[in-house]
Amino acid sequence: METSAAIAGPDPRVARRHAITCVLCASATFTVGSAVIKALTAEFPVLEIVAFRSAMAFLALLPVLWWHGGFAALATRRPLGHLLRTFCGFIGTVTAVYGYATLPLAAVTALGFAMPLFLTILSVPLLGERVGPRRGSAVLVGLGGVLLMLRPWQAGGALPPLPVAIVLAGVVTWALSMISIRRMGEAGERNITIVAWYSLGTAALAAIGAVPHWIAPTLPQLGALAAAGLLSGIAQLLMTEGYRSGETTLVAPFEYGAILYATILGIALWGEWPDAWSLLGIAVLIGAGLYIWHREVVLHIRR
């Protein structure tokens, strides 16, 4: 005879705690990996770091790939979608690593969270979505947060404009990558297939570009390069599990914990103390991003 607990099913509070824990751990793991990458940029070219990172991230995905049928899970009917996703994601990854070499860790992390703003803008011409005045206003507010971080009205600015522009250009390509993922998902493509092809494709593109300037790593450096990639792969798995286990509106705010972790690591390792204007800009950017995600979920439910 079944117990009442068995009939009722799993406790939703347990599932929610599990989802939140996964997202918090994913954000922390990703931030630690980003700090390792920032440290490596002083010793290796950007493309070599990206090659190692992507290759090791794929290795971290192998257990999940095996669970979904091994290399048969790579079979796809959307090769062009994967090419677009890989190319856009590759540009986004390369520009992010460049940002780690030239900007404070917390600044690069915060600029990465501008992705929902550009995703909202691009969804109008590319997905045919309608953006109402609320989401439109949130985009403008979020871009204002980026300006507060950059502060072009100050002599010399708070951050060097060229690296910020390069990182933001990469964030735009990440938004394009998300649109490609959404289209493939709507067409029935599995998450593991999308992630695996992205890791393989990015590793291949970066390795080809890194060959002319390849630097042979020492054993400790090889360990650091491998650790950066493994941390990235583990973070992807944790983030996927978190969003699979809990509602987007529940877990999305905890993803922004990465900015807190990045600020702490930046201060501890490189003495990167953010000033009040930078903190205000980050807060505005986070608020706008969270509002856009909230509106996205609300509109999806209404549909």
pTM metric for this prediction: 0.85
179-189 pLDDT, tens digit per residue, is 888 888 888 88
**So what's the pLDDT on residue 252?**
74
**So what's the pLDDT on residue 300?**
56
**So what's the pLDDT on residue 2?**
45
CB 27 within 8 A of CB 255: yes
Residue 131 burial by Cβ neighbours in a 10 Å radius (0-12, 13-18, 19+) = middle
Least confident of 28-42, 65-79, 147-161, 223-237: 147-161
214-230 pLDDT, tens digit per residue, is 999 999 999 999 999 88
**Can you tell me the mean pLDDT for 149-154?**
75
When pLDDT is cut at 50, 70 and 90, the band that residue 1 belongs to is very low
**So what's the pLDDT on residue 277?**
87
**So what's the pLDDT on residue 16?**
81
Residue 81 tokens read as 């979608």
DSSP 81-119: HHHHHHHHHHHHHHHHHHHHHHS-HHHHHHHHTTHHHHH
Residue 25 tokens read as 């751990």
Q: How many CA atoms lie within 13 A of 61 on its CB side?
A: 30
State the alpha helices, DSSP H only, in 151-275. 161-186, 191-210, 219-245, 248-255, 257-270
Closest CA to 235 of 31, 85, 89: 31
Torsion, Cα 301 252 101 139, to 10 degrees, reads 50
Least confident of 80-84, 104-108, 290-294: 290-294
**Can you tell me the mean pLDDT for 102-120?**
90
CB count in 10 Å sphere of residue 139 = 22
**For residue 294, pLDDT beyond 70:** yes
**Can you tell me the mean pLDDT for 69-90?**
91
When pLDDT is cut at 50, 70 and 90, the band that residue 296 belongs to is low
**Can you tell me the mean pLDDT for 265-285?**
92
Cα separation, 41 vs 228, whole angstroms: 12
**So what's the pLDDT on residue 10?**
57
CA distances (Å), 201 to each of 79, 172, 296, in order? 12, 19, 30
Which is more confident, 1 or 293?
Answer: 293
Cα separation, 122 vs 76, whole angstroms: 26
**So what's the pLDDT on residue 261?**
93
